[in-house]
Amino acid sequence: MTGASSTPIVGVTAGSAFDLEIEREVFDGMDVRFRPVDVETTDDLIAELADVDAVIDRLLAAPYTAAVIDALEDCRVIARCGIGVDAIDTERAAGADTYVVNVPTYCQDEVSEHTLLLLLALERNLTDYDAALKDGVWARDVTTAGVHRLRGRTLGLIGFGTIARLVAEKAHAFGLDVMAADPYVDAETMAEADVEKAPFETVVETADAVSLHAPLIEDTRGMMDADAFARMKESAVLINVARGGLVVTEDLVDALRTGRIAGAGLDVFDVEPSGQGGADPPFESPLREFDTVVLTPHVAWFSREANDERRRTAARDVRRVLEGRPPTNAVNDPEGANGNAAADDADDANAAADEANADVADGANADAADGADVTDDE
C-alpha cells in the first residue's frame, strides 16, 4: 500500500443517482474530499477509484474482484451500502489491509413488506386484472381456480434470519401457516415465532408459497433447481427477494413453461443490468414472457428511510476507519488493521445505538437477509 494523501479521498459511487447531502453531514468537521462517480464495470471501478482512500458504494453496479482490490492500493475501507457482500472479494481485501463493511440491519421492514406484496400480487391475480383494465377490458373473471384465500394456506421460508422472521409475523396477520428451513436456527426458536421447523425438502414439498431468505454462499447457490421445483406443488409459487443466485434460472423457466409450478414473484436475478435506471442496458430474461411471473427491479430494499439509513451507516464506518478506529460493521479482518480501537465519543456511541436497534442475529442468514439480499440493493 502506498502512502495516502493528507486529505483523504472518498470515492462515492452512483454519483448521478444520489446527492452527497448525507455523506457530507456524516463527515462534518473532518477534512475529506468526495469523488462522486458512476460505474458499470470492474474497469470503471479501477479507472475511477484507483487512488482513493475509501469507497462508499451506494448501488454495487460492478463486483470488487481481486483485480479491483489490487488496483485500489491506498484504499483503507470499502463500504457496501447494503447487506450482501458476495460481490466483494473480502479475503483479498483483508490481505490488502482493507476493511469491507456493510449495513446489516437497514431494510428488514421493506424487504419483508415486499415479500408479502409479491405474494399478494400472485395470489390475487393483481397484474392480470390491472393490465386488462388499462387495456379497457372489464376482465371480471370470477371463475378461475387459481385465486385462493390466504388464511389456512402455508408459507414456506428458506432461511429464518431477521427478515424471514418479520415475514412470518406479517404472514400470520393474514392467517397463513408458516414453516421454515434453516440449519442454523433451532426448532424452539422458530416455535417462539409460531413457525414450524422442517427440512428444506419438506418445506418445498408442503408450502403453497416458497419464499427465499437465505444468504448466497457455496451451500445455497442454485438451491432452487430442477429437483426442488419437481418437489413443489403444481399450485405453488416461488418468491425470491434474497439473491438471484439462489435460483437456477433455466430450471425455473422450465418449471413455469411445463406448469410444474404456478408462478413466481422475483425481485432479484442471477444477471442484472448494470445501469441505474432507464432502458440501457436492457433487462434481458426469458422470465419476461410469463404472465404468471411478477417482476420488480431489485427494489425490495428501498424506501426513503432505508436509503438514508444505509448511506448514513456506511459513511459513519468509513469515517471511523479514516480516523484510525475499527468500524462497527466489518465483515473481514485485515491483518494490518489501520488503527487501534479508541474510546468512542458521544456521537459515535449514539450512532452505534441507532444502528443496533434491529436484531442483527440472523444466524448465517444475515442476508440476505436480503434481504440482504437484500435486497440489499440489499
Report residue 254 CA to chain centroid gap. 26
**Local structure of 169: helix, strand or coil:** helix
Record the cell numbers describing residue 30, joined without a space.
473532518
Across the beta sheet with 33-36, what order do the strands follow? 33-36, 9-12, 54-57, 77-80, 99-101
Through-space distance between the first and last CA atoms of the chain, rounded to whole angstroms: 30
Across the beta sheet with 237-240, what order do the strands follow? 196-197, 177-181, 154-158, 209-212, 237-240, 263-266, 293-295
The C-alpha atoms of residue 316 and residue 117 are separated, in whole angstroms, by 32
- Could you give the residue numbers annotated as active site? 243, 272, 298
- Residue 95: count other Cβ atoms within 10 Å of its Cβ: 16
Using CB atoms within 10 A of its CB, is residue 25 exposed (0-12), middle (13-18) or buried (19+)? exposed
